[in-house]
Structure 1
Amino acid sequence: MKNKLILISVCFLAVVQQGMTQTKISKPRVIITTDGEVDDQDSFIRFLLYTNEFDVAGLVYSSSQWHYAGDGKGTVFISEMPITAKLYGQRTELRWPGTDWMQYFIGLYTKVYPNLTKHAKNYPAPNDLLAKVKVGNINFEGDMKFPTEGSDFIKKILLDEKPGPVYLQIWGGTNTVARALKSIEEEYKSTSNWDAIYKKVSQKAVLYTVLDQDATYQNYVAPNWPNIRVIYNSTQFGCLAYPWPRVVPDALKSYLGGPWFAKHIKFNHGPLLEKYFLYGDNQKIPGDPEHTQGNLEEAKKSGFIQYDFISEGDSPSFFHFLNVGLRNMEDASYGGWGGRFTRSEKNPTRWEDGLSSADYNPYTYKEDPTYSQTRWIDVLQNDFAMRADWCVKSYKKANHPPVIALKTAKNISAKPGVVIHLSGSAKDPDGNKVIYKWWQYKEAGTYNKTIEIQNPENADASFIVPADSKKGETIHIILEVKDNGSPQLTRYQRVIITVLPQ
């Protein structure tokens, strides 16, 4: 790889490790598995507005500890998970919302699809999405005894010759994915191809899991496929899930409040978003007696007003794979719209959240294990509002995100004392004014002190590599660009500086 020289102070030398940014990145290939909880359905509605950003390989119904269909034979089941075993005891089925709601929302997507294509290329045709909907293992929590249409579909994708990873988003239980892996093991383990197949699948499958909602990861996937990469979100999703009023700082709560959703999402944005579930909206999911949030009186008893946000606890699983310039797909510890994670000490292929991936919360003045996700709420919601506008507005009347490029390199190696000159540029497709901001994402780097950036609100900025920085330490600098349109939209570029020895 070619190295380039950058401007330096006095006679110090900084070595550029990589060329210019804006390298074309192929669209992530994704499969969603979902149990149909109300927050899954809201996540799915938002996901449909972002499908142009992905290669959607599959949309698969699965079960979880919270939702399963039963086998239709009256078989009694009790959860392996202590919380649901205590809550529900023995059941023949549990809160099952059916296997037609994704098709229903895709039907509504059909009505806004022509307008969406005015704003961005590559939105998938509705019939193409319908062809990807499959029913997986749904009979009971942890159901993986037999192959299903959904598990066989996932198996086929994991074994195909299309290069690159497959990002398996686990919105419910892991069981249908586990069954796909089990079917691969059963077919190939006794053959001469097993080592090659095992390596291929282990390198290809990447799980983004929102909690363990059954025991199949622990009981089967982890012991039998330990090299499969996993991003495990157990905490950070909370700011976008049911407990958001306790988690989100007051300064950001308006983005999840009823007035915001009524104005920007629920009304006057087409038939798909009319069906987005909110508190007190008088909607009810068939088959789920615990979906009572649509009843306004019940909502008020819990402290909510009409049209307040309910939950999208699963959305971080696809936020993580949106290419907005933060480079978090290179390394989950970098942090991005889907949260920030640290590598497990026990399993180097597993990335987890928690105290080890906490970010400093400037509203509470504390390290906060959810702030790695919470910090993006305003920009995420404004981006959602933009997509909602795309459902009904012409290109001229809607807003579109700025496009950013770095003029300096995205990876730099430099000795302490070197002046790093940062330079970027941005264009706005709507002709809006752009606002620059360079900032240090301190938690993403390993140099744990604050650096002073000169001219952080200009396109060109600089800072000095600290004299006390050590060999191998990293400093992450984010170029954030906002437009002044409505809604205000944000994109990024990231520069990573690695400290060289003196």
Structure 2
Amino acid sequence: MCKQILVCILCFTAFECGTAAIAEEGGRFHKPRVIVTTDLGADPDDEQSLVRLFVSANEFDLEGLIVSTGCWKKTQADTKMLDKIVDAYGKCVNNLNVHANGFPSVDYLRSISCMGQTAYGMGDVGEGKDSRGSDLIIASVDKDDPRPVWVGCWGGANNVAQAIWKVKETRSKDELAAFLSKLRVFDILGQDDAGAWIAKNFPDVVYIRATGVYGWLPEKNGEYQRNDIQSHGPLGAVYPDTKWATEGDTPAFMHVFPNGLNDPDKIDQGGWGGRFSLEKKAGIRSMKPVQNESDYDPYLMHGNTPEGAKAIKRWHQAYNNDFAARMDWSITRDYAKANHHPVAVLNGDTTRNVLYVNAEADSEVSLSARLSADPDEDKLDYSWSFYKEPSSYKGALQLARNNTETTTIVIPAEAAGKSIHVILQLHDNGTPVLYAFRRAVIHVRATTKR
């Protein structure tokens, strides 16, 4: 049996008519839907983030690549920078498809690449301001598809603002509410005043403003960037040197990366994109050039939890090696010449969903990674850990055998009414070492023992 078929059988990624899907109890939950708006040309970090996104494109349903403006690039004229990176992807996609199913064709990526708002902020929102980008956002959310649409604002947010403005002006209140209920905005740092306008006037929108986006990557322009990324074929060639900060926009799609760590809609769980407060906060300001957000006070957004970028960096070995391995995929059509991700199975569940477990206080919970496997037949190492930050129980927790295939958790009596987050992390011994994750959330009820 070929190793790729083994992965399919284990349901790490279920293949159905050529489309990757992740199974979920009670139905079928497909890949996260993602739209990118990027102020290409303001800083080379957008180009860097696009390269990582494209070698990870099998993990998402990409529905839009929109060139946008922002406070560091207040006008845009064309998609030439985007087209160059898409063309580089086209030279690699056949290689990528050897190593994993679900990579979109280059023609598809070209079909969703477009100009958005060409001018800055709320000055380019309103009557007669529709763009192909804002229309694309509306069309994506309007699809007969229950999954939310995650729009990553790597620059300003005025494409999203124009889409919302248009829907508000042309539809009923109920239709507007339905539209907004499917929209998720992940705003990197705030780079125009449109985010504050959205948050002020449409408070039901899930709006994350991530400010903890620095310090999670390896050394600037160091050996990792040069040897593992830039040296690797056409996509490596369009990954520029870092000028200010490396890949500052990557957390926008890493938050929804379906790697078993988190449910993106439960924004406080924490994953590769960071961890965010459930309680919206006032006054999360944009970058310094945006001077007028106080005009919208008070506006409320979800912001980073106190860990900031540390909530990302805790997974650094996994996401760095993931990117390096995918760049290896991009330059070889020989499956045996690259490493591939192990498959983490939790208590027999072969999806990448968060597993929710009910337990009594003063009891024991057993968790098992049996049936986990590696497509390259590499040796697997296991690790179980208590992720205290998103847990409502903050006391000590005993995990027996935390470096074996199974573990037992002793639930303290004082954990009644609390939640406990346990992370299964396993890795192979390939090159580079690759990781897989699963999360169990234990809801603890009061004991019924007498």
- Alignment pair present for 1:56 and 2:58: no
* 1:10 corresponds to: none
> Is residue 215 of structure 2 the alignment partner of residue 239 of structure 1?
yes
Matches of 1:22 and 1:385, distance apart in 2: 35
Q: Counterpart of 1:430? A: 376
Figure out how many residues of one structure are paired with residues of the other and give that number: 397
CA distance in 1, matches of 2:120, 2:267: 32
Contact 1:20 1:408 in 2 (8 A): no
CA contact (8 A) 2:275 2:308 kept: no
SS across alignment from 1:154: helix
Runs of 5+ unmatched residues, structure 1: 1-18, 70-95, 189-193, 245-252, 280-292, 294-308, 359-367
Partner of 2:132: 149
Pair 1:418 & 2:363 matched: yes
Q: Indicate if the aligned counterparts of 1:334 and 1:340 stay in contact, CA closer than 8 A.
A: yes
Q: Check the 8 A contact 1:21/1:406 in 2, yes or no.
A: no
Distance change in 2, residues 1:208/1:350 (3 Å): farther
- Residue in 1 aligned with 2:152? 169
Gaps of 5+ in 2: 1-22, 283-298, 350-354
1:386 aligned onto 2:325: yes
Give the C-alpha shift of residue 466 in structure 1.
0.9
Bigger drift between 488-497 and 134-143 goes to: 134-143
Contact 2:388-2:394 at 8 Å conserved across structures: yes
Aligned structure 1 segments of 4 or more residues deviating by more than 6 angstroms: 19-23
Q: TM-score, normalised by structure 1?
A: 0.75
Matches within 5 A, 1:93-172: 98-142=78-122, 143-145=124-126, 146-172=129-155
Cα distance between partner residues in 2 of 1:314 and 1:209 = 9
Aligned-pair identity in percent equals 30
Deviations 1:143-164 (A, max 9, x none): 2241112112222222333332
In the alignment, which residue of structure 1 is the partner of 2:386?
Answer: 440
How many angstroms apart in 2 are the aligned matches of 1:101 and 1:20? 38
Deviation, structure 1 residue 141: 3.8
Within the alignment, does 1:352 sit opposite 2:302 as a pair? yes
The alignment's C-alpha RMSD in Å is 2.3
Residue number in structure 2 paired with 1:377:
316
| Bigger Rg, which one | 1
- Rounded to whole Å, the distance in 2 between the matches of 1:24 and 1:118 is 25
Whether the aligned pair in 2 keeps the contact of 1:22 and 1:405 (CA below 8 Å) is no
2:162 paired residue among 166, 171, 179:
179
Match of 1:271 among 219, 229, 234: 234
Structure-1 residue corresponding to 2:72: 66
1:172-228 superposed Cα distances (whole Å, 9 cap, x missing partner): 00001101111111112xxxxx13311211111111111211111212x12332211
Mapped contact 1:444–1:476 kept (Cα < 8 A)? yes
Q: Which residue of 1 aligns with 2:204?
A: 227
- Confirm whether residue 211 of structure 1 aligns to residue 189 of structure 2: yes
**1:257 to 1:38, Cα distance in 2 relative to 1, 3 A:** closer
Displacement, 1:445? 0.5
Using the alignment, how far apart are the partners of 2:141 and 2:206 within structure 1?
14
8 Å Cα contact 2:426-2:437 kept in structure 1: yes
Question: 1:403 is matched with which residue: 329, 343, 352?
Answer: 343
Q: Which amino acid aligns with 2:278?
A: R
The answer as to whether partners of 2:422 and 2:440 remain within 8 angstroms in 1 is: yes
What's the counterpart of residue 72 of structure 1? none
After superposition, what is the alpha-carbon deviation per residue over 1:348-376, rounded to whole angstroms, capped at 9, x for unaligned? x976334xx23xxxxxxxxx432111112
1:449 correspondence with 2:395: yes
1:323 and 2:273 are equivalent in the alignment = no
- The one-letter amino acid paired with 1:400 is H
CA deviations on 1:318-377 (whole Å, 9 max, x unpaired) are 111111111232411111111111112569x976334xx23xxxxxxxxx4321111122
Shift of 1:24: 5.5
When residues 153 and 278 of structure 1 are mapped into structure 2, their CA distance, relative to the original with a 3 A threshold, is same
1:98 deviates by 4.7
SS of residue paired to 1:164:
coil
Q: Deviations over 1:45-97 (max 9, x none)?
A: 1111111111111111111111022xxxxxxxxxxxxxxxxxxxxxxxxxx68
**Does the CA contact (< 8 Å) of 1:39 and 1:311 recur in 2?**
yes
2:269 alignment partner in structure 1: 334
| 2:248 pairs with 1:313 | yes
Distance 1:97 1:438, change over 3 A: farther
Q: What are the superposed Cα offsets for residues 256-297 of structure 1, whole Å, 9 maximum, x if unpaired?
A: 552122221111x21121121115xxxxxxxxxxxxx4xxxx
Query: For the structure 1 residues 47 and 202, does the alpha-carbon distance in structure 2 shift closer, same or farther, using more than 3 Å as the test?
Result: same
- Alpha-carbon spacing, 1:484–1:350, altered in 2? closer, same or farther (3 Å): farther
CA distance in 2, matches of 1:351, 1:423: 38
Distance 1:22 1:265, change over 3 A: farther
